[in-house]
Amino acid sequence: QKEVEQNSGPLSVPEGAIASLNCTYSDRGSQSFFWYRQYSGKSPELIMSIYSNGDKEDGRFTAQLNKASQYVSLLIRDSQPSDSATYLCAVNPPDSNYQLIWGAGTKLIIKP
Amino acid sequence: NAGVTQTPKFQVLKTGQSMTLQCAQDMNHNSMYWYRQDPGMGLRLIYYSASEGTTDKGEVPNGYNVSRLNKREFSLRLESAAPSQTSVYFCASSGPSSGAARYNEQFFGPGTRLTVL
């Protein structure tokens, strides 16, 4: 059974601090990893993709991938109230070019 | 570009009624997907179409049928709606991007909120 695990939260972070979201996956051969943001009542929005071990930075967002430990994380620097949302982790398993395995999401609350 | 569009946005059905959810994308993507999202359960794949002319079952296909009408359009049909099909339905599409099929960045439509009474 392929699984992607996330802490459901809510994770509460003060405004201006760093929010750290974590995700673990079970299929060691997975190659592509994605973070989506979903506001309440809206659809998921792709915010980061990462394919290689290490860090990938885009503005205030940094994705970190460690394939040996089978985890991927998302750091949000200088957190803003507008970052309050549910963050979904998705993983592309090695035996499918098309399907993603989804975590259930972590609810993030940024407190002003 | 509109991206991925879905109709309708909201729908209320009675048990046993049928309906079709429509999805279209203007990103020239090969692959399209139908998901349902229920509280606390994340996204679950119903059906997908890897390319025009092909469709495959996902994790939860029972009670649904799909049609890939052309490269742009992918519809989801509920033949006899049941209360267990009350959910939010999302359509998504993907490239491939970056010239490689395994880079499966999916882009979502706004969703359809369906209630079956």
Contact between B50 and A49 using a beta-carbon 8 Å cutoff: no
* Interatomic CA distance for residues B102 and A56, integer angstroms: 19
Q: What is the pLDDT of residue A99?
A: 85
- A40 pLDDT higher than 80: yes
| Residue B100 burial (CB count, 10 A) | 13
pLDDT tens digits, residue range B2-61? 899 999 999 999 999 999 999 999 998 889 999 999 987 789 999 999 888 899 999 999
> Which positions 27-46 of A are in contact with B (Cβ < 8 Å)?
31-32, 34, 42-46
Contact between A105 and B42 using a beta-carbon 8 Å cutoff: yes
Distances (CA, A) of A59 to A77, A80, A87, B67, B75: 9, 13, 17, 40, 37
Question: Which residues in chain A are closer than 8 Å to B109, comparing Cβ atoms?
Answer: 43
B29 against A62, higher pLDDT: A62
Question: Which residues in chain A are closer than 8 Å to B90, comparing Cβ atoms?
Answer: 43-44
Contact between A66 and A44 under an 8 Å Cβ cutoff? The reply is no
Contact between B75 and B20 under an 8 Å Cβ cutoff? The reply is yes
Burial A20-34 (b: 16+ CB within 10 A, else e): ebbbbbebeebbbbb
Q: Give the nearest partner residue to A43 out of B41, B90, B94, using CB atoms.
A: B90
- Separation in Å, CA of A17 to nearest CA in chain B: 27
Contact between A43 and B110 under an 8 Å Cβ cutoff? The reply is yes
Contact between A32 and B40 using a beta-carbon 8 Å cutoff: no
In chain A, which residue's Cα lies nearest the Cα of B32? A98
> Which positions 73-112 of B are in contact with A (Cβ < 8 Å)?
90, 94, 96, 101-111
- Separation in Å, CA of B47 to nearest CA in chain A: 10
Q: What is the pLDDT of residue A83?
A: 98
pLDDT tens digits, residue range B74-107? 999 999 999 999 999 999 999 865 555 456 889 9
pLDDT-wise least confident of A59-73, A77-91, A96-110: A96-110
Beta strand pairing call for A106-111 and A11-14: parallel
Chain mean position to CA B49: 10
Which helix (H) or strand (E) element contains residue B6? strand B4-7
Which helix (H) or strand (E) element contains residue B25? strand B19-25
